[in-house]
Structure 1
Amino acid sequence: MRRLLSAGALAVVLTIVLAPAASATPPNIPSASTAASRLAALTVRAESNHSSYNRDLFPHWITISGTCNTRETVLKRDGSGVVTDSGCAATSGSWYSPYDGATWRAASDVDIDHMVPLAEAWSSGAYAWTTSQRQSYANDLGGPELWAVTDNVNQAKGDKDPAEWQPPLASFRCTYARAWIQVKWYWNLSVDSAEKSALTAMLNTC
């Protein structure tokens, strides 16, 4: 005898079917209030040494475990149903990009974004670091520095700070500001005045 689903059970089934692909969130994103206090603690000064920046000064991607490098590790961490080959390359899965709300089913459509871009970090204090410190920064899985996002959105962001670029998905800007501030605070990087003003405004959307 065929059983009929109750309205509640049917709603649960529909929710499961219609729900967007699950996505992981990078760790250690502070609350808005904590982010605000950390932003207040950051040194405010103009960026410097930008002309001496070279991406090669931040070695990445490095091997994290077995045959998996940093990019592949983030793709596995932040994707849903990710299948990899023997070399750790993702052959299938889905990735939700929080910057624009798009979901992708090919890893080639996904970039791993440095929340605080390498050039921005350099001009905010990383020019004085050792190569080992810059390598640790460029491959940092312990905080909200690395995000799996739509490739052309990442390319549009480039090296811009929040005074120059913000995620097209406005509802994500609170989280974006909290993550940006955490990275700058943890790595003891400075902010410039326009950047601080933009971050403050973004926190006010939380």
Structure 2
Amino acid sequence: MRSLLTLCALALVLSGCVPPDDISGEATAAPSAATDSARLLGQLTEAKAGSMRGYSRDRFPHWRSTGKNCDVRDKVLERDGDNVRLSGCNVIAGKWYSEYDKRTVNDPSDMDIDHMVPLAEAWRSGASQWDDERRADFANDLTRPQLIAVSASSNRAKGDQDPSKWKPSNRDFWCTYAQDWITVKAFWRLTVTAAEKAALSDMLGTCPGTKP
């Protein structure tokens, strides 16, 4: 499910079928290869990390209501879990595989919903110039591969770091992680640092079919 979401979102960004200011609709385009991610990475604007002045998580309002006493967190837990049980539409049980650290988790309270591109990282790479409504769109983006259920411990270890400073301990996920990161940054027109770009390129080198 997650791989399909990544590939479809990447195809939409590359094709230009969905402009960056339009976050409505579902991704339905055909899958793209890792080479497309590398090409997209080369198109990202390279810049130094911006200032954290004025940053607060409150400037990225989340989690949005999705109706019936549910919110975006519930939606992601339901999407990413197996044998999920609901009370109303609140997730109360299930089983989750945390891609970051290969952990299997059976208690939803032990899972975090990670922002693939952390909110603080987005602020440093262009979101400081947005209004709060656009920042809320970013923080609640269910269409791009921006939200993923992972173990709380791995999410806390990641913090707000970019791939030059933190990578999942599960190297098998590096290809997807890099593709997801690039797709999100490209769609939202966020910049990358030189070190971040180099790290992403290295991670794409782990994708199947790429040369070592």
| TM-score interval, normalised by the smaller of the two chains | 0.7 to 0.9
CA distance in 2, matches of 1:28, 1:165: 20
Distance 1:96 1:163 in 2: 24
How does the TM-score come out when normalised to structure 2? 0.83
Superimposed CA distance per residue, residues 10-65 of structure 1 (whole angstroms, 9 cap, x where no aligned partner):
xxxxxxxxxxxxxx417233431111111000000001121321110000001023
Alpha-carbon distance in structure 2 between the residues aligned to 1:183 and 1:173: 15
Matches within 5 A, 1:76-155: 76-86=78-88, 88-155=89-156
Q: SS of the residue aligned with 2:114?
A: strand
Match in the other structure for 2:27:
none
Equivalent residue of 1:95, what SS? Answer: strand
1:64 is aligned, of 51, 63, 66, to 66
For residues 28 and 150 of structure 1, what CA distance do their matches in structure 2 show? Answer: 20
CA RMSD after TM alignment: 1.1
Query: What are structure 1's unaligned runs of at least 5 residues?
Result: 1-23
Please give the secondary structure, in 1, of the residue aligned with 2:143.
Answer: coil
Runs of 4+ off more than 4 Å:
none
Structure 2 equivalent of residue 34 of structure 1: 36
Distance 2:37 2:66 in 1: 29
Give the corresponding residue for 1:162: 163
1:84 maps to a residue whose letter is: L
Of the candidates 51, 55, 65, which is equivalent to residue 57 of structure 2?
A: 55
Aligned to 1:203: 204
* 1:84 Cα deviation from its structure 2 partner: 1.0
Deviations 1:162-201 (A, max 9, x none): 0000000011101100000000000000000000000000
Aligned partners of 1:47, 1:109: CA distance in 2, in Å?
32
Provide the aligned length of Structure 1 versus Structure 2. Answer: 182
- The one-letter code sitting in structure 1 at the alignment partner of 2:180 is A
Residue 25 of structure 1 aligns with which residue?
2
User: SS at 2:53's partner residue?
Assistant: helix
Say which SS state the counterpart of residue 52 (structure 1) adopts. coil
Asked whether the equivalents of residues 28 and 142 of structure 1 are also in contact (C-alpha less than 8 Å), the reply is no
Q: Return the alpha-carbon distance in structure 2 between the equivalents of residues 182 and 198 of structure 1.
A: 15
- Alpha-carbon distance in 2 for matches of 1:42, 1:65: 36
What's the secondary structure of 1:50's corresponding residue? coil
Aligned to 1:188: 189
Three-state SS of the structure 1 residue aligned to 2:199 is: helix
Q: Secondary structure at the match of 1:51?
A: coil
Secondary structure of 2:6's partner? coil
TM-score, normalization: structure 1? 0.86
Compare CA radii of gyration and give the structure with the larger one: 1
